[in-house]
């Protein structure tokens, strides 16, 4: 739907180029920029069931469109990592990754913050696969880490490294995703700031940066491995141009099998490598570009780690303390400072290799800290897929109380049993609370709390009959 009176002022050079690029389709493209962007989410299959009434995003089995944008802040399930708000075109990643998914893969998401594609990859990989999710900018790596902790899977490491640091990981990864920093032309409809920042000089700068990133990361890809390259921009230099450059300079070949794609996605060619383009007038999503190439050149694989272990395994007594807290007693448990951390046993050596070569800022799932020979459970455990839910008493709370809990305000608990409780909303864990008898101590992390005033909305919710708030009627989400 076009918003009444909506205007958009595009940079002249961009407009001229797009007129040539799209020909007679240009007016349709321009018209689409005046429309409201479609709203979409990708659910976390470990936490919630597929919604029954929402239309699906065709390229992604966990992607759904919403009829309008809700206030996500007012949905406790959003804070619990039950879904990720992500525009639909970029969910096409699933089509490029799925043909290559098998047991024991080592996957790198090189430019990962804030975590849209990493949470998606995490859902596509089984627990015996490794996901290294990297972001070079420290502050953005913190947001990435928050989103992955909420997503809750145990086999993920968050690193904060420059692409060139990965040359130390020769041939280590079977799949590498480079969702490159770009000139962002595909985001003009959503983000008017992207228009202000656009210039021809900046697209040239982005192209050079993307080539540097590709050259830096190519040695870390295993022989026969797959590199997926994506941007959210339209100009050929940052897209097909870079893929042609990769073919000529790095011996990249098309990844097989070749995809059959749905109507509306444009297939282009970069020296024989098929590339996929998304335009807002042709698909229900934003501008996007993606392709997958394979590496045929021979590459030495980093030898398995043989040095002294960086991770002190938990002792017998500590293991006994955490045994009942975890769904599977077979995890590698190690101690880092006061914390006990769970990590998949079969990925232990990989974690050592990563620690030896990269800057880790988070790995696995924090189980809790050791205090006076007891475990104080960590928030990450509550929202993870490794928790043994049967072990903890559950406090099932209503929407108003869930919002109070997430805001770190008091609420009246239902149970009167003292001790640690897993706080859940619609069956999805939100975190811990400690029942002290006459009051409760909410344990939701202070830095993630809801900061906006919620009183007016709590009243609104109580007036609603259909229980869907903050989702619009008709969006039968849970």
Based on CB atoms, which residue is closest to ligand SAM, 103 or 138?
A: 138
CB of 16 to ligand SAM, least distance (A): 25
Asked if 112 is part of the footprint of ligand SAM (rule: CB under 6 A), the reply reads yes
CB of 112 to ligand SAM, least distance (A): 5
Asked if 117 is part of the footprint of ligand SAM (rule: CB under 6 A), the reply reads yes
Based on CB atoms, which residue is closest to ligand SAM, 181 or 427?
A: 181
Half-sphere exposure of 322 (CA within 13 A, CB side): 33
Q: What would the two tokens of residue 370 be? A: 């050791």
Closest by CA position to 366, among listed 401, 331, 395, 391: 331
CA pair distance 233, 89, nearest whole angstrom = 12
CB of 83 to ligand SAM, least distance (A): 14
CB of 85 to ligand SAM, least distance (A): 11
Task: Give the residue, chosen from 87, 146, 165, 179, that forms a contact with ligand SAM under the rule CB under 6 A.
Answer: 179
Q: What is the DSSP letter of 467?
A: S
CB of 162 to ligand SAM, least distance (A): 6
Based on CB atoms, which residue is closest to ligand SAM, 213 or 381?
A: 213
Which residues have a Cβ under 8 Å from the Cβ of 475 and sit 6 or more positions away? 51, 53, 54, 66, 67, 70, 468
Closest by CA position to 280, among listed 234, 240, 241: 234
Write the interaction track for ligand SAM spanning residues 142-171; mark x where CB under 6 A is met and - where it is not: ---------------------x--------
Closest by CA position to 182, among listed 55, 325, 304, 286: 286
Site for ligand SAM, residues 418 to 437, rule: CB under 6 A: none
Which residues have a Cβ under 8 Å from the Cβ of 279 and sit 6 or more positions away? 22, 25, 29, 32, 234, 266, 287
Asked if 113 is part of the footprint of ligand SAM (rule: CB under 6 A), the reply reads yes
CB of 472 to ligand SAM, least distance (A): 25
Q: At 460, which helix (H) or strand (E)?
A: helix 455-463
Check residue 442 and give left, alpha or beta (phi > 0: left; psi -120 to 50: alpha). beta
Based on CB atoms, which residue is closest to ligand SAM, 103 or 212?
A: 212
Based on CB atoms, which residue is closest to ligand SAM, 59 or 318?
A: 59
Write the interaction track for ligand SAM spanning residues 187-216; mark x where CB under 6 A is met and - where it is not: ----------------------x---x---
| 19 and 50 Cβ atoms separated by less than 8 Å | no
Task: Give the residue, chosen from 60, 96, 111, 220, that forms a contact with ligand SAM under the rule CB under 6 A.
Answer: 111
CB of 288 to ligand SAM, least distance (A): 10
Half-sphere exposure of 20 (CA within 13 A, CB side): 7
Asked if 140 is part of the footprint of ligand SAM (rule: CB under 6 A), the reply reads yes
* Stretch near ligand SAM under the rule CB under 6 A, chosen from 36-44, 133-141, 255-263, 457-465: 133-141
CA pair distance 197, 184, nearest whole angstrom = 9
Q: What would the two tokens of residue 62 be? A: 């966990």
Based on CB atoms, which residue is closest to ligand SAM, 87 or 240?
A: 87
Please give the biggest Cα pair distance in the chain.
Answer: 72
Asked if 333 is part of the footprint of ligand SAM (rule: CB under 6 A), the reply reads no
Q: For 421, phi and psi rounded to 5 degrees?
A: -125, 145
CB of 90 to ligand SAM, least distance (A): 6
CB of 286 to ligand SAM, least distance (A): 12
Which residues have a Cβ under 8 Å from the Cβ of 147 and sit 6 or more positions away? 81, 84, 114, 115, 118, 119
Asked if 136 is part of the footprint of ligand SAM (rule: CB under 6 A), the reply reads yes
Based on CB atoms, which residue is closest to ligand SAM, 51 or 116?
A: 116
CB of 289 to ligand SAM, least distance (A): 11
Task: Give the residue, chosen from 11, 67, 99, 181, that forms a contact with ligand SAM under the rule CB under 6 A.
Answer: 181
Task: Give the residue, chosen from 37, 38, 51, 115, that forms a contact with ligand SAM under the rule CB under 6 A.
Answer: 115
CB of 116 to ligand SAM, least distance (A): 3
* Stretch near ligand SAM under the rule CB under 6 A, chosen from 14-22, 110-118, 248-256, 401-409: 110-118
| 233 and 185 Cβ atoms separated by less than 8 Å | yes
Give the distance from CA 415 to its chain's centroid: 35
Asked if 135 is part of the footprint of ligand SAM (rule: CB under 6 A), the reply reads yes
Q: What is the 3-state secondary structure (H, E, C) of 375-399?
A: EEECHHHHCCCCECHHHCCEEECCH
* Stretch near ligand SAM under the rule CB under 6 A, chosen from 72-80, 131-139, 235-243, 292-300: 131-139
Task: Give the residue, chosen from 13, 137, 271, 436, that forms a contact with ligand SAM under the rule CB under 6 A.
Answer: 137
429-434 own/partner pairs: CB under 8 Å, 24+ apart: 429/80, 429/382, 429/383, 429/387, 429/389, 430/76, 430/79, 430/80, 430/382, 430/383, 430/397, 430/402, 430/405, 430/406, 431/379, 431/382, 431/383, 431/405, 432/377, 432/379, 432/382, 433/395, 433/405
* Stretch near ligand SAM under the rule CB under 6 A, chosen from 22-30, 129-137, 335-343, 429-437: 129-137
Q: What would the two tokens of residue 59 be? A: 């390229």
Site residues (CB under 6 A) for ligand SAM? 111-117, 135-137, 140, 163, 179, 181, 209, 213
């Amino acid at each position: 739907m076009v918003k009444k009176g909506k205007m958009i002022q595009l940079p002249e050079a961009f407009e001229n180029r797009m007129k040539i690029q799209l020909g007679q389709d240009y007016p349709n493209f321009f018209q689409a920029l005046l429309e409201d962007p479609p709203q979409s989410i990708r659910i976390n299959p470990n936490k919630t069931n597929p919604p029954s009434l929402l239309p699906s995003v065709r390229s992604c089995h966990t992607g759904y469109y919403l009829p309008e944008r809700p206030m996500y802040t007012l949905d406790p399930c959003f804070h619990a990592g039950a879904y990720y708000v992500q525009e639909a075109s970029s969910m096409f990643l699933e089509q490029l990754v799925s043909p290559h998914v098998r047991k024991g893969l080592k996957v790198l998401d090189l430019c990962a913050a804030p975590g849209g594609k990493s949470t998606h990859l995490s859902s596509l990989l089984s627990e015996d696969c490794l996901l290294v999710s990297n972001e070079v900018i420290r502050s953005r790596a913190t947001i990435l880490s928050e989103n992955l902790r909420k997503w809750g899977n145990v086999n993920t490491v968050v690193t904060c490294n420059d692409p060139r640091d990965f040359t130390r990981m020769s041939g280590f990864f079977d799949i590498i995703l480079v969702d490159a920093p770009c000139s962002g032309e595909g985001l003009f409809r959503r983000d008017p700031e992207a228009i202000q920042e656009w210039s021809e000089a900046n697209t040239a700068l982005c192209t050079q940066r993307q080539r540097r990133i590709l050259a830096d990361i190519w040695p870390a890809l295993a022989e026969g491995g797959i590199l997926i390259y994506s941007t959210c921009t339209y100009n050929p230099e940052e897209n097909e141009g870079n893929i042609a450059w990769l073919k000529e300079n790095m011996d990249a070949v098309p990844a097989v099998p070749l995809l059959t794609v749905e109507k509306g996605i444009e297939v282009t060619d970069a020296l024989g490598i098929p590339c996929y383009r998304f335009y807002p007038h042709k698909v229900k999503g934003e501008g996007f570009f993606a392709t997958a190439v394979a590496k045929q050149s021979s590459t030495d694989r980093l030898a398995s780690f043989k040095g002294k272990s960086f991770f002190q395994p938990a002792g017998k007594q500590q293991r006994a303390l955490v045994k009942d807290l975890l769904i599977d007693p077979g995890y590698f448990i190690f101690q880092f400072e006061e914390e006990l951390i769970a990590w998949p046993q079969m990925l232990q050596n990989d974690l050592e290799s990563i620690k030896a070569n990269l800057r880790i800022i988070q790995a696995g799932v924090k189980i809790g800290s050791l205090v006076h020979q007891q475990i104080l459970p960590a928030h990450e455990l509550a929202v993870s897929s490794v928790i043994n839910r049967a072990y903890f008493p559950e406090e099932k709370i209503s929407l108003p109380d869930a919002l109070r809990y997430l805001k770190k305000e008091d609420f009246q608990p239902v149970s009167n049993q003292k001790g640690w409780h897993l706080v859940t909303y619609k069956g999805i864990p939100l975190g811990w609370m400690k029942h002290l008898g006459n009051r409760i101590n909410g344990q939701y992390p202070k830095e993630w709390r809801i900061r906006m005033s919620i009183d007016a909305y709590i009243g609104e919710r109580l007036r609603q009959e259909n229980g869907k708030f903050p989702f619009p009627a008709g969006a039968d989400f849970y």
